Amino acid sequence: MSKKFLGGFYMALAASIWGGMYVVSKLVLTVVQPLLLVWLRYVVALIVLALIMIFTRQSWRVHRKDLPSILAIGIVGYVISIGAQFYGTKLSTAQMGAMITSATPAFMVVFGRIFLGERITLRRAVSAGLATIGVLMVVGIGGFNHSYQLGGFILVIAALTWALMSIFVKRVPRSYSQVTITMYSVLTATLVITPFVYEQWIHLSPGVFFHPVIWGGVLYLGVVSTAGAFFLWNKGLQWLDAGTGGLYFFFQPLIGTWLGWLILGERVGFTFWLGAFLILLGVSLVIKE
Radius of gyration of the chain (CA): 18
The closest of 270, 19, 25, 28 to 141, measured between CA atoms, is 270
Domain range for 29 is 3-288
User: For the segment 79-88, what is each residue's pLDDT rounded down to a tens digit?
Assistant: 999 888 878 8
Q: pLDDT at residue 213 above 90? A: no
Q: Which of 63-72, 95-104, 124-133, 256-265 has the highest mean predicted lDDT (pLDDT)?
A: 63-72
User: For the segment 19-51, what is each residue's pLDDT rounded down to a tens digit?
Assistant: 787 778 777 877 888 888 889 888 998 998 899
What is the rounded average pLDDT of the residues 196-219?
78
pTM of the model: 0.71
Whole-number Å distance between alpha carbons of 67 and 81: 20
Percent of the chain scoring above 70 in pLDDT: 84
Specify the number of domains making up the chain. Answer: 1
User: For the segment 216-229, what is each residue's pLDDT rounded down to a tens digit?
Assistant: 888 888 888 888 88
Q: Which residues contact 80 (CB under 8 A, 6 or more apart)?
A: 157, 158, 161
Q: Which residues contact 123 (CB under 8 A, 6 or more apart)?
A: 285, 286, 288, 289
Whole-number Å distance between alpha carbons of 277 and 86: 24
Whole-number Å distance between alpha carbons of 279 and 195: 37
Give residue 141's pLDDT. 47
User: For the segment 124-177, what is each residue's pLDDT rounded down to a tens digit?
Assistant: 778 777 877 776 676 554 445 556 778 888 888 988 898 888 888 878 887 888
Element (H, E) at 17: helix 3-28
Whole-number Å distance between alpha carbons of 76 and 185: 10
